[in-house]
Amino acid sequence: MLTLTAIAIFPIALVSYAIVRDEVRNVTRTIDFEVRDAAQSAQARFARLLDQRQLAATAVAASPGLQTAISLRDTKRLERFARRNHLLLEVDGRTFGQPLTHAVTTRAQLVRQGHAIGSVVGQVPTNEATLRLISSGAANGVRVTFVQPGGPPQASGRGATLPLASSVSVRAYVPTATESHRKNAAYLRVAEAGLLALVALMLLTLVLTRPLLRAFRWTEEQASEARIDSLTGLANRRAFEEILAAEISRAHRFAHRLAVVLLDLDRFKEINDSFGHAAGDVMLRAVSRLLTSLARQGDTVSRWGGEEFVVVLPETDLAGAQRFAERLRRTIEAHSVGDMHTTASCGVATMLEEDTVEELLGAADQALYMAKSNGRNRTESAERGPREDAA
């Protein structure tokens, strides 16, 4: 027993090393995703605040009351007007209102009798209140701060910095101590798993040597293969095909219905071209969250590739799958991310008695092609002959 245990320690150590390496890499990738997402969300929220101040400044610039105060050169009224609207007025070389020490500004021109006489200035302060507003919803452990040129050095830790204006940027980061804690937790999980495996092996090695060796090889393969899409957190294509094969087998065994919905975002390239690939990634993550929230327990949502997603629906007939696909399509159509908006085309197919993974997905793909050909932003179902209605 001692000899067998000593021999067993070596493969356990190898597997543990592979798992530790993969776990630490996953921790790092997760942190990179969290800080990038937090920085992009903060950047988008700050841009909306600045747009709101721009609209307010434009409305004030056209205000009859302001034009009257300017015509009368009523400085007290101009000062009250500026402070009441939380704006600055720059009229004939004079400034009315309360200028903020640290703020990003936006301007609307003041015009009288066809001549520019000054500006209405909106201010978004870069203070703690604004920081709390734009950092709401950041992942646990992610911190957000403003970065000023010539200001204090950036906080240490893995992070991402994005510009807000020429004078300020926003930085989302995970402190070094928090990152170390997450990695240590990964080490601890692997150590505990290794100890449990060693105890189990000591008890069962005499009768289960060959099955355990196969299990170790399978575990090592799983540790070296990523099964999660790094951008959306959904199952990737390889994992989904394995899940679908298992669901087809279960549906055959228990005579259950099985349906698949293949979904493609319409004209997604226009989002990338208009807003950039980073914004496109934000939209893909938002859609993935919508799909996950609408899926039932037991459904599987996967990113099929690019802007395509696929959902497997166990124990679901064609009518139920059509209703589900329509709910997905309407939800995506009604949802926007900042200024970005998209729609989706859906292809629905149900399993026939002798279907393989490739045949079922091929049917859904043909239905999706029909949806695209018939104008996009619609759901089409695969026409598969009389077997479609078989019990």
User: Tens digit of pLDDT for each residue in 103-161?
Assistant: 899 988 888 777 888 898 989 998 899 999 998 888 888 999 998 877 666 667 888 99
Distance between CA atoms of 228 and 289, rounded to whole angstroms? 14
Mean pLDDT of 243-271: 94
Q: What is the pLDDT of residue 224?
A: 42
Mean pLDDT of 372-390: 79
One domain for residues 32 and 168:
yes
Residue 381 binned pLDDT confidence (cut-offs 50, 70, 90): very high
Asked whether residue 173 carries a pLDDT value surpassing 80, the answer given is yes
Q: Which two tokens stand for residue 238?
A: 């390889």
Distance between CA atoms of 98 and 118, rounded to whole angstroms? 16
In a domain, 347, yes or no: yes
In a domain, 232, yes or no: no
One domain for residues 101 and 208:
yes
Where a domain ends, among 170, 191, 225?
A: 225
Residue 244 binned pLDDT confidence (cut-offs 50, 70, 90): very high
One domain for residues 211 and 288:
no
Q: What domain count does the chain have?
A: 2
In a domain, 136, yes or no: yes
Residues 6 or more apart in contact with residue 228 via CB below 8 angstroms = 234, 235, 236, 239
In a domain, 231, yes or no: no
- Listed residue (100, 93, 102, 95) closest to 81, CA to CA: 95
| Parent domain of 80 | 1-225
Whichever domain contains 301, its CATH number is: 3.30.70.270
- Residue range 200-227, pLDDT digits in tens: 666 665 555 666 567 666 665 555 456 8
Where a domain ends, among 225, 260, 291?
A: 225
Mean pLDDT of 223-246: 85
Asked whether residue 59 carries a pLDDT value surpassing 70, the answer given is yes
Where a domain ends, among 225, 245, 265?
A: 225
One domain for residues 5 and 56:
yes
One domain for residues 129 and 23:
yes
One domain for residues 3 and 121:
yes
In a domain, 87, yes or no: yes
One domain for residues 204 and 62:
yes
- Listed residue (248, 243, 244) closest to 353, CA to CA: 248
Q: What is the pLDDT of residue 63?
A: 84
In a domain, 369, yes or no: yes
One domain for residues 252 and 105:
no
Mean pLDDT of 324-338: 94
Looking at every residue in the chain, the average pLDDT score rounds to 85
pTM of the model: 0.45
One domain for residues 149 and 195:
yes
In a domain, 230, yes or no: no
Mean pLDDT of 151-180: 85
**What are the phi and psi torsion angles at 101 (to 5°)?**
-65, -45
Q: What percent of the chain has pLDDT over 70?
A: 85
One domain for residues 190 and 100:
yes
In a domain, 204, yes or no: yes
- Residue range 5-39, pLDDT digits in tens: 556 566 666 766 677 778 888 888 888 999 999 99
One domain for residues 246 and 218:
no
For residue 340, what are the CA distances in angstroms to 30, 33, 79, 245, 276? 25, 20, 39, 36, 11
Q: What is the pLDDT of residue 213?
A: 60
One domain for residues 191 and 309:
no
- Listed residue (156, 41, 146) closest to 104, CA to CA: 146
- Per the CB < 8 A criterion, the answer to whether 378 and 371 are in contact is yes
- Residue range 67-100, pLDDT digits in tens: 888 888 888 988 888 888 888 888 888 899 899 8
Residue 195 binned pLDDT confidence (cut-offs 50, 70, 90): confident
